[in-house]
Structures are given as structure tokens and as C-alpha cells.
Structure 1
Amino acid sequence: GFAIAVVSDGEIIYSDAFGARDPAKNLPATTDTLFGIGSITKSFVAISILQLAEQGKLSIDDPIAKHLPFELGRPNEPILIRHFLSHSPGFPSLASSTVLLSRGLGEDTGVPMSSSDDFFRFVNGAKDEIVFSPGEHFFYNNAAWRMLGAIVQNVSGLPFHEYVTENVIHPLGMTRSTFDIDQLYADPDHLTPHRKTADGVEATNFPYPNPVDNKAFSFLTAAGGITSSVTEMSLYLNMLIDAGKHSGGELISQRSMRDMQRLHIREPDGYYGTTGYGFGVGVTPDFLGKLLIDHGGSIAVSTAHMALVPGEKIGVVMMGNSSGMSYAPIGEAVLAILMGEDPDTAVPAFGIVKRMQQLVGAYSVYRDVETIDVVSEKGMLYLQQSGGGQTPLIPEDAAYNSLDFYTLNNGRKSPVNFRVDDDGQVSLIVGRYVYRKNI
């Protein structure tokens, strides 16, 4: 199942749902179906931290070790709360989500993760993993966000999930959104989680532990434990668009929200040039000339994505009950349309897909003596020779604006060039041969 909602000027201007929330019972997905929002939860954590900072209970420039039994860091280079908020602590992902979600799905990595003591033993054992100074390099890091949840818990005196529910979720009128797995399943309109397997897709259980059952370890859900609907998340989008304000007041100040939505650490350039991370949100400064704020979420059994352009007061949120989906291009297309642009030309991902579709097919040389196929798998093009394996085609231009590719053979680049004539006929030059696409 899949659900989507689009907001503009504080109102839902479009919402719909497709497919089934429970295929076994043939129950339809709706715009009120509760899905796991995964890592979109991180922005809720960031708001919680900024609330506590505004109350003077912490500073984002506090060392993590001031609030937690945290032992990582180089001498004279303390890791600060702001570094966790921007995924720049200096150490890479410790795969804590793999440990957690595997256990939730009935598998086991052999790493103990049933208590706060287990968690901090796991983290503090990674002293040799420090590879950058804090604030120097982007490393997406779920363990860091779990520790931010622990800081919220320790500083506020409330279990993490209770603090976020009482101070972020419920003030927005999001009455059904929850961390509580029992509440999720008691709701008459909830997802049936599904995960991909070698044989397809199968129903499974929700992989996050219920924080209600272990309140001292509630912070484990900080990296991605919220479930919500696109209808309720529209309220959240409008608050982000309106710089922290909502119908009942203000979650955080405009100044804090602007800091949250500011670029704090750069990532490799994306389709729209400079891109990076703020506090709990992705930041693209120049999306069709405007600031784009977005974040995805995937927890092995569901996928979600939100995207908003505060300067245009528009946003979109999407959710589905399986993993491995990329909703970002859909969101960008929706926003492009609302900004008066043609998504086929404004959204590079769409152009790339069209280009790849144009090149995929069966090719042959003169008199069909030699043949070769161009196939597409998981966002890559491959040459596939009859009876042989696949050879990846690496684009000279990552945006696929060029028709020039190459293959690698023992470290040596060999050019592979496509050509398209005025009539749309595609040809392929590989070594001594010119192949023409069969019509």
C-alpha cells in the first residue's frame, strides 16, 4: 500500500492512497493508515533537543559526555550535541539499526542490545572507529540519534517516547501517531508490515521494540520509531513550513527552526548541486531556486519520505508498507509541479530514467551476426552478451546528460558510446563494432 498527502498554505490540497494495507485480508490503504515513518523520527528528536536548549536545560554545544556515559572522542576534540544532530561525530555508522531490526525480525547478529548498559558497552567499544574530527565529515549515524534520545530522556526526566509524544506529537493534534506498538496494532487502520525476501515480499512483525515495555531503554526508538499517517504528518509538515508555529502555539522559536533547517555539514553534491544535513533534516539550498528540506525513512518493513519548500509554503509526505522504495523523486516532482515546473525536465531522476529506458534493448551488428543486450538493474545499465555475464556501464556524466560510458577491465577504461540520430534510432559503439538497437 501507498499513501500521499500534499500541503500548500497550511491546507491539504491533495491526498490519496493506493493498494492494500493488509493484502492477506485485502484491506485498502487509506490516508489515515498508520505506517512507520522511520528516520523522519530524527527531526522530532531534533525539535525535542532544541526545546530543551531553549529552556536552558542543555546547550547544543555541550559535550555528549556531559549527559551520557559516552567515552568516544579524541583528546581536546570533544564530540558535541550539535555534531550528533548533524551526523558529523567523526565516527562512522556502528550498524546499531542492523542489530536492532534484525532482532525485531526474529534474526540475531550476536550483539547484546537489551538494555542501556548493553547499548553503551557497544558504543564505547568503538574507540578505534574515530576517523575524523567532529564536524568534519558526514557519517549517517543511527547510534548518535539513539544517544540524542537518551539525552532527551535524562535531561527531561521522562522516558524518551513520552517526552516526544507530550511535547511534539500531541501539541500538533497528531492524536493517533505513536511509538507504542500496542497502540499501533489496536488502531483499526494500521499497516501490515512487509519485508523483501529472496522469494518476494512477505508479511512480518513491526521490528522496533515497544518502548512502553522497557521505558529505561525508550531512547532506542529515537532513530526511527514513530508510526503515523500522511494526514497527521501533514500537520507536522505545516509546522516545519511555518518555522515552528502551529494552530496551538509554537513548538520551537523561529530562530531555532531556521538553525535546524540550515546546512551544517555537506554531503557529496546531488542532482541540484550543494546538498547536506541540518539538524535532523536534509538540506538542499538550491532546489529550483528555493531551499528544499527533506528526509526519508525505511525500517525494513515500511518506507516514508517528506519534502517541503518553506519559501513556497508547500510540502509532500508519502508512506508505504514495504521497504526498498525511493519516494524522493516523486516528492520532488510534486513540488516541481506546484512551483510551475515540468517534472520531466526539472527533476533529474526522471530524465535519467527516461534516458535509461531509451538505451535499454537488444542490439545487433550488420546482418545480425553479433548481438548484445543493454539491460537496467537497480539504477545501473549493463552490457549483457549472449551466454555471458553482465558488465556494468559507468556513465562519464553521473547525471546521464552524456551518452558516453565506459567499462573497466583490469583497471583499464574501455569506452562505450551511444548515439541517437534525428529519427530516434539508437546505436552503440563498443570496440570494433557498431550495434544498432532493434526496433
Structure 2
Amino acid sequence: MNPLKYFFLIACFWVATVTAQTQTEKIDALVQSYAKLGRFNGNVAVARKGHIVFARSYGLADREFDIPNTQDTRFRIASLTKQFTAVLILQLAESGQLDLHAPITRYLPYYKKELAEKITIHHLLTHTAGLPDYTERDDFFTEISKRQYDHREFIQKFCSDTLLHEPGTQYKYSNAGYYLLGGIIEEVTHDTYANVLQKKILDVLHMQNTGMETPERLIKNRAKGYNYGPSGYSNAEYIDISSTIFSAGAMYSTTGDLLKWDKALFSNKLLSAKSTEMMFTPFSSNYGYGVGTIKSFVPDLKTEVHFVFHQGAINGFRSVMTHVVNEDLVILLLCNTFEADPNPVSNGIFALLHGLPYSFAGEEK
């Protein structure tokens, strides 16, 4: 899902203060209003300056066994995965194993040559390669996503379509670009993406509740994904997420682990200051490397506020993560009901924390 769609709703807020006790009670009441109407089901975490100020679970991880969501529940994080892919690419660039501005034909010898000679890694990272998004195909969710492919086969079949525009000229959000980045990581390291992710990030940060999902793997405390409609809840449709989404969105995690990730990302623990700055610098349509990034002047503050953010959506799951750089404030929501859009909840929490008007579920204008 394009991370920029909902974000502009909160880009011009001014800042006020609320007591910590009132914050906790009000955030809980706000989220409960959505949960009671089936419009949120999952975990919420808010952290300021590296310290968790709010963490609660809502609804059920498994509706057939009435197992509630807890702080240990693992959710698919969908396109939040792109941040991790971007960091792995930047780490390889820092070590001299690849050049961000080199054509990808240097790293993917099996890729369609006429495309690979035009597209650079920088284009893939910024969604400016001109590649169509294979998830927008009419047959993706009904047919393609239910089959198993090796990554090379999938790239050749579904990430090699005719370009929509010349690389570097326009922004077009595309999962194909981030799938290709995963393929490049595997080619350059001669290892699997999952192994590189584990060694270079997850082990370093002790993210023990995070990894890549595969159909055969048993994952303790994993939430089941659901749809919600007029007839109530139903199971989300099957998707072979490891082979058809891969490095564009196949990770699972917890709110606790993602707060570890956020803290490391903003403290240069994984990347140099130069690489981190590149990652958070918008190139086109307020997108950097794996994240949306906006510096917006807020009239009431008479200053510029820097937001770094992304959201995700995959069968049965939704996610949204926003970091307010000026305040070192993180708002994170992981949800295991696809129709339960977490964006209004996230925006409401932001408004509440800053003394702005907000609405409970069902009261929105």
C-alpha cells in the first residue's frame, strides 16, 4: 500500500501538552472506541525518547480459540518490511559491495537486459524505476499469490514488465522494485535474504520476535489474519507471502521489536550518519529509501516538523508506523483485521498527544 495516502491529514498539527496519566486514559478510550466497532484489532505502542509511554493490546489473535492479542503477539508487518530492505542495501553500499547509482544489470545478470541497463538501485529504493506494481494485476490475489515460486523465477515472470515511464522521471509505488532489491541482496551476498536479515539486523538488535514468514514455518504467538464485513469476521485468504511478496513485505514482528528497530535506526547503530541521512531525504513524492519522509512547516509552532513514516497492508493485516523526528516520538499500530484501517487511530493518537481536537470512532466528520 502507498504509505503517503493518509499521512497529510496530520502534517500541519501544532503542539500542546497533556499530563501523562490523562494521555494513557485518553489513548485507551480512543482505541477502545474503534475496537468496539470492529474498526481496530491489534496492538498499539507509543514511545517518546526511547521510552514506552503507552502499550496495549485489543481484540483477538485467534478468533476460533478466543486467544487475545498480547504484547508478545506477532503480526505480519507488510510494507514496513521495505525499511529493512533499504537498510540492508545501504549496508552493502557502505561495505563497497554495490553502487547505488550503478545499473542493476551489474547485480542481476539474469534480469531483462534492456530494463536492467536503465534502472539503478537508487531508482528501486525511491519507487522511480517506472516498474508496474504486480500486486495491481487482476490475477495477483486470485491466482499468482497462492502459488510458490523461487525468487529468480518470480522476478523474471512478474517484475520485468514494460516500464511505465523512464527511470528517475516519476514516482510510482511498486512492490516489484523492492522485490528486485531482495534479489540483488541474495545475488551480492550469495545467501538468502532471510539469512542476511537475521545476521545483519535481527541478531544485532536482539529482535527475537521478528523474521521472514514462510508457509511451512511454525511461528509461535502468530496472529491469524481476518477480514471484517457486514456478516462479521472471516479468515483472510491464503497468500504465499515468502515467494510472492518477499523483501517487499513478508516480515512479521511485534510492537516491542519494532520499537527496538526504530531506536537503532535513528541512532546510527545500523548505518552511518551519511547513509541514514540519505535514507530519510525525500527524492520524489516525499519518499526516501524505504520510508515516506516529510518536513512540514507548522504555523502554530513557527517551526518545521520532520515526519518519517510508512504503512502496510497484506491479506488479513494492516500496519502503520510514524516517527516524529523533532520530538523523538513514535506511534505504532499493528492490526490483524484488514478492513480495520489503523490510520484514523494513529492520527487520533497524534492529535490527542498534541492537544488537538480528535474524534471517537463513529463521530468523525
TM-score normalized with structure 2 length: 0.78
- Confirm or deny that 1:43 pairs with 2:43: no
- Residue 207 (structure 1) aligns with: 239
Change (3 A) 1:173 1:59: same
- Residue 356 (structure 2) aligns with: 342
Change (3 A) 1:309 1:198: same
Residues 182-233 of structure 1, C-alpha deviations (whole Å, 9 max, x = no match): 797441x2201223578543125762345xxxxxx6x951011111111111
- Residue 266 (structure 2) aligns with: 241
- Residue 328 (structure 2) aligns with: 313
Q: Tell whether the 8 Å contact from 2:146 to 2:239 is kept in structure 1 after alignment.
A: no
**Aligned to 1:151, which of 184, 189, 206?**
184
Q: What letter is aligned with 1:95?
A: T
Using the alignment, how far apart are the partners of 2:246 and 2:60 within structure 1?
Answer: 26
- Residue 277 (structure 1) aligns with: 287
| TM-superposed deviation, 1:252 | 0.6
Change (3 A) 1:162 1:13: same
SS at match of 1:312: coil
Using the alignment, how far apart are the partners of 1:152 and 1:24 within structure 2?
Answer: 39
Identity among equivalent pairs (%) = 23
Q: What letter is aligned with 2:187?
A: N
Q: What letter is aligned with 1:260?
A: M
Change (3 A) 1:74 1:55: closer
- Residue 227 (structure 1) aligns with: 252
- Residue 323 (structure 1) aligns with: 338
SS at match of 2:340: coil
Instruction: Give the gaps of 5 or more residues in structure 1.
Output: 211-216, 245-249, 267-275, 345-349, 357-439
Change (3 A) 1:145 1:301: same
Using the alignment, how far apart are the partners of 1:30 and 1:176 within structure 2?
Answer: 13
Q: Tell whether the 8 Å contact from 2:78 to 2:249 is kept in structure 1 after alignment.
A: yes
Greater radius of gyration (CA):
1
Change (3 A) 1:343 1:190: farther
- Residue 137 (structure 1) aligns with: 170
The root-mean-square deviation of aligned C-alpha atoms, in Å, is 2.9
Q: Tell whether the 8 Å contact from 2:282 to 2:293 is kept in structure 1 after alignment.
A: yes
| TM-superposed deviation, 1:333 | 3.4
- Residue 165 (structure 1) aligns with: 198
Q: Tell whether the 8 Å contact from 1:315 to 1:335 is kept in structure 2 after alignment.
A: no
Using the alignment, how far apart are the partners of 2:70 and 2:191 within structure 1?
Answer: 33
TM-score normalized with structure 1 length: 0.66
> Which one has a larger percent strand, Structure 1 or Structure 2?
1
Change (3 A) 1:33 1:99: farther
- Residue 157 (structure 2) aligns with: 122
Q: What letter is aligned with 1:190?
A: R
| TM-superposed deviation, 1:134 | 1.3
**Aligned to 1:298, which of 313, 334, 348?**
313
Change (3 A) 1:72 1:330: farther
Q: Tell whether the 8 Å contact from 2:212 to 2:250 is kept in structure 1 after alignment.
A: yes
Report the number of matched residues.
Answer: 318
Residues 92-134 of structure 1, C-alpha deviations (whole Å, 9 max, x = no match): 323378766x3xxxx425997623453233246523xx23221
- Residue 265 (structure 1) aligns with: 284
Change (3 A) 1:89 1:302: same
Using the alignment, how far apart are the partners of 2:160 and 2:126 within structure 1?
Answer: 22
- Confirm or deny that 1:71 pairs with 2:112: yes
Using the alignment, how far apart are the partners of 2:145 and 2:239 within structure 1?
Answer: 17
SS at match of 1:78: coil
- Confirm or deny that 1:190 pairs with 2:190: no
Change (3 A) 1:221 1:287: farther
Using the alignment, how far apart are the partners of 2:137 and 2:59 within structure 1?
Answer: 28
Q: What letter is aligned with 1:221?
A: F
- Residue 426 (structure 1) aligns with: none
**Aligned to 2:54, which of 14, 17, 21?**
14
